[in-house]
Chains A and B, each alone.
Chain A
Amino acid sequence: MDYQFLWRPVIQSLPQMLGGASVTLQVSVLSMAIGMVLALILCFAKMSSFAGLRFVANIWIEIARNTPALFQLYFFKFGLGAVGILIDSYITVVMALAFNTAGYMAETFRGGYAAIPNTQLRSARSLGMTAFQAQVHVMFPQLLRAVYHPMTNQFIWVILMSSLGMLVGLRELSGETQFLYSKTFRAFEYFAATAIIYYLIAKLVLGLMTLIGNKVFGLNRGGVA
């Protein structure tokens, strides 16, 4: 073993890597936002009385949860590409991560819903609220609160999984790192530095989500009554 550690190239290309990290964050936030909206729609579709809606939701959820995220990404990039639908890598990664997040979070939403006593809905309706008002003002805030921790986990997961972008040519943090490494062959140094940056991003996001959770949902107030 006469490998000599050489950190200079890493330090010199740190600005480029941070540029990649910013793409990672953008892609993750976008995927998460779109995925959460889709998850809510899927959750309602799955609880709907229309068989057609339930069918579509079930297929989506089954595929998203039971196939590798990598295959889902490849489907959007190369599968659609094979039939002539060519999509930019950035958008492909957002689509795949949002698709996956929607499938996972739809089930989490459904579980969160089941955890709210149905007497809450009855109380709201007994006060004269419409079904929609009861959902928006009484059920939804409690649902968000119930799924807040799983949602934070999913967010971290999305950030880490966005590294798959490297495989479809997206210059996010991993893609950027691979590009730099291929020029210098300082594999260990580059990927060690990348791992540290991922770790710091994950910790930063976790910290932010905790702060927001405490502020908005009063999660530090203790359990639900």
Chain B
Amino acid sequence: MISVKNVRKSFGDVEVLKGIDLEVNQGEVLSVIGASGSGKSTLLYCINGLEPVQQGVIEVDGMSVHDKKTNLNHLRQKIGMVFQQWNAFPHLTTLENVALAPRKVKTLPKAEAEALAESQLKHVGLGDKMHLYPNALSGGQQQRLAIARALAMEPNYMLFDEATSALDPELVGEVLDTMRLLAEEGMTMIVVTHEMGFSRDVSDRVAFFHKGVIEEIGEPEQVFGQPSSEHLQKFLAKVR
């Protein structure tokens, strides 16, 4: 379980998260929507400890992320993350990209790490691209590679930070399909997204961020069908 309690986070003088409380249960898919700059992505960075927080506690499986005694490198193995800008390592083949962390972090033998990588690449539909370098892949394929790379660490949670926002429109579908597949397999996911259709279909719950607070949270039917917050109503009117 991921639990976020009264988290406040500032960049300099600008407070980006103004007291966030949130719980994500095992097997749940939570999508996070809201305007740019509302703090959605920052929350993800805080959850896997890439950003410090000024106040509050985030716990993943009972371990406090920002406690100095927590081994973050160990904790991060449980939390896969996919970024907006696909981040394939350009000097490695697709297979090497996925096998790198299992080899170096989990110290698996090369053959074992590569077998694992191969199965994850097939999982996301890149079984025929294993020996290509990332610059031979499309944006959508690179993003699926990033998903496979995160999955190869066998995480309990997956965080998606606007995974399709930087893609050409015709490539968005293949990445969303891969994410949908993971959701169906029972992966616990927090998905920051601007894809309202996806959010509505796949999520168990939807959280609407507005200026650093969660202004509305609930099942998709409720959030999209009967939004009670005025800001959410305006937001939905704009994105539709």
Q: How far is the CA of A128 from the CA of B80 in the complex (A)?
A: 9
With contacts A221-B133, A225-B133, A225-B134 known, is A126 near B85, CB below 8 A? Answer: no
B115-155 contacts to A, CB under 8 A, are: 133-135, 137, 142, 146, 149-150, 153
Q: A137 to B90: give the CA distance in the assembly, Å.
A: 12
Q: A142 touches which one: B90, B133, B142, B149 (CB < 8 A)?
A: B90
A51 to B90, CA, bound (A): 34
A122-B83, A123-B83, A225-B135 are known contacts. Are A129 and B88 too (CB-CB below 8 A)?
no
- Contact check, B85 vs A137: say whether CB atoms are below 8 A apart: no
A117-B85, A225-B133 known; A127-B149 Cβ under 8 A = yes
Q: Are A129 and B104 in contact (CB under 8 A)?
A: yes
Q: Is A217 an interface residue (CB 8 A)?
A: yes
Which one, A123, A126, A127, A142, contacts B91 given CB within 8 A? Answer: A142
Cβ of B105 and Cβ of A221 under 8 Å apart?
no
Measured between beta carbons, the chain B residues less than 8 angstroms from A222 are: 135
From the candidates B50, B77, B81, B89, name the one contacting A120 in the complex (CB within 8 A). Answer: B89
How many chain A residues touch B (Cβ–Cβ < 8 Å)? 25
Using an 8 Å CB-CB cutoff, how does the interface string of B98-114 with A read, 1 for contact, 0 for none? 00110011000000000
Q: Which residues of chain A have C-beta atoms less than 8 A from B101's C-beta?
A: 124, 127-129
Give the residues in chain B near A137, CB-CB below 8 Å.
Answer: 100, 104
Let me know if A110 is at the binding interface, CB within 8 A. no
Cβ-based interface call for B69 (8 A): no
Contact indicator A127/B83 (Cβ below 8 Å): no
A contact residues around B90 at 8 Å (CB): 142, 224-225
Q: Does B70 contact A (CB under 8 A)?
A: no
Could you show 30 A-B contacts with beta carbons less than 8 Å apart? A117-B85, A117-B87, A119-B85, A122-B50, A122-B83, A123-B81, A123-B83, A124-B101, A125-B50, A125-B76, A126-B79, A126-B80, A126-B81, A127-B100, A127-B101, A127-B149, A127-B153, A128-B77, A128-B105, A129-B101, A130-B73, A133-B105, A137-B100, A137-B104, A221-B135, A224-B135, A225-B134, A225-B135, A225-B137, A225-B142
Binding site for A on B (CB under 8 A): 48, 50, 73-74, 76-77, 79-81, 83, 85, 87-91, 100-101, 104-105, 133-135, 137, 142, 146, 149-150, 153
